[in-house]
Amino acid sequence: MTDAGRDKALRIALVAVGVIFTFGIYPLTVIWPDGFMWEPRQAEYEMMIIVTIAILGVFLLMASRNPAAHRSLISFAGWMSLLHGLLMLWQALQDPTEHANLFGDVPALILVGVVLLVLNRPSGAGTAA
């Protein structure tokens, strides 16, 4: 993929993730709580997580205008999503009551993390100087 193509793909990914993080997480917890919430269900904790992810989504939407100027934010979002998803994968495999998450938030977060990290490489990364 060329640098211009990767930059365009990153912008699209940032908008998609930003919209989902900002507006989609809460509805997903209502529509499919088994796939997007964890036991014990505690409303105060869940709302803190939802608001934190929503704010990150707003900042990813802003970063989509000029990704090169926001590489550290995009890296944070990528690593946070990937490692959060991997930790949840481990926990869901250990706890049978959380197996539905293996088809919900776990793969979603891992996918978001990988996509953001792969597309966020600076121009010319991996090429010989």
Please compute the mean of the pLDDT values over residues 57-82 and round it to a whole number.
97
- Burial letters 82-120, b for 16+ CB under 10 A, else e: bebbeebbeebeeeeebebbeebbbebbbebbebbbebb
Predicted TM-score (pTM) of the model is 0.88
Q: Kindly indicate the confidence band of residue 124, based on its pLDDT and cuts at 50, 70 and 90.
A: low
